[in-house]
Amino acid sequence: MKAYRLLTEEDTSAFCHKVTEALNKGWVLHGSPSYAFDASTGKMRCAQAVTKEAEGDYSPEVKLGAL
């Protein structure tokens, strides 16, 4: 199966660490990162899609972060 995740975080080093951790677990960048203002918090947020080939079949019970 091909798994997809959208990683999001405030615009801090925590976002870079989240993406770096995913890459080191075998996830691959998918597309360009996004950067937007979150009016509810007054802060900028980042997003990056990642994909990964994983064994097994997809089901809604799959814990994507555990792949």
Helix, coil or strand: residue 45:
strand
State pLDDT tens for residues 35-66.
999 999 999 999 999 999 999 999 999 999 88
pLDDT at site 22: 97
Burial class (CB in 10 A: 0-12, 13-18, 19+), 50: buried
Judge whether 63 lies within some domain. no
pLDDT at site 10: 96
pLDDT at site 65: 87
Structural domain count, the chain? 1
State pLDDT tens for residues 14-36.
999 999 999 999 999 999 999 99
pTM assigned to the model: 0.88
pLDDT at site 57: 92
- φ, ψ at 31 (rounded to 5°): 80, -175
Judge whether 30 lies within some domain. yes
Range of the domain at 40: 2-55
